[in-house]
A = this chain, B = another copy of it.
Amino acid sequence: MKIAVFGTGMVGDTIGSRLIELGHQVMMGSRNASNEKAGTFVAKHKAGASAGTFAQAAAFGEIIFNCTKGDASIEAIKLAGDGIMGKIIVDVANPLDFSKGQPASLLPALSNTNSLGEEIQKTFPKAKVVKTLNTMWCGLMVNPTMIGGGDHTNFICGNDADAKAKVKSLLKEFGWKDQNILDLGDITNARGAESVLPIWLRVWGATQNGAFNFKVVS
């Protein structure tokens, strides 16, 4: 499948690399087509990797992973222009606010009674936003079997059932088992998924280990 990855940081690199490993073609999208990290990404993969602007990547991909920083996501997707029309945007970003000390809080305008996921959906109504994977370290997003036999929980939400089914199919390629993917419902449930960050950051701080995830035990 042709997939666009917006954002060339650690999360984008990790997801893009795993997608290529799985046989997909990936175009890294960034503000500037000559982005250095995107160049490094293309160079390290023998085949399947390319780089372009957000607009070029959006036009290329059937699915778009949003791995940009949460406070810059809306702006980045705006730069993609019409290329996102009808496309699935897998939003793995978090609206972290680093301006008020550590650990980060959430951006007030994008939390509690709103969320980044639903703000993207509201701003780009012709895209199909699916929020998932944002509640863990990127290494686990694409390799859940790294811990606990893969038995821990990944939340998913979004307004479009078909889009969620397609994303679930990709999640299974990553190693996620059906019973560990918990569908919370429509995109407003991104408020819940993103509210995991304040506790995630503190568990990380207390344990000094980021390779953990939450499991719903019942």
Residues of A bordering B, CB below 8 Å: 100, 103, 105-106, 108, 111-113, 147-148, 151-152, 155, 182-185, 189, 191-193, 195-199, 201-203, 205-207, 209, 211-218
Contacts and interface: CB of A to CB of B under 8 A. Distances in A.
Q: How many chain copies does the complex carry? A: 2
Contacts of A182: 203, 206-207
A212 B218 contact: yes
Contacts of A189: 202, 206
A180 to B, nearest CB: 10
Nearest to A193: B199
Contacts of A212: 216-218
A151 B217 CA distance: 8
Contact of A199 (B112, B155, B202): B155
Given A103-B192, A213-B218, 15 more contacts: A108-B108, A108-B112, A111-B112, A112-B112, A147-B217, A147-B218, A152-B217, A182-B207, A191-B198, A192-B199, A196-B196, A196-B199, A214-B217, A215-B215, A215-B216
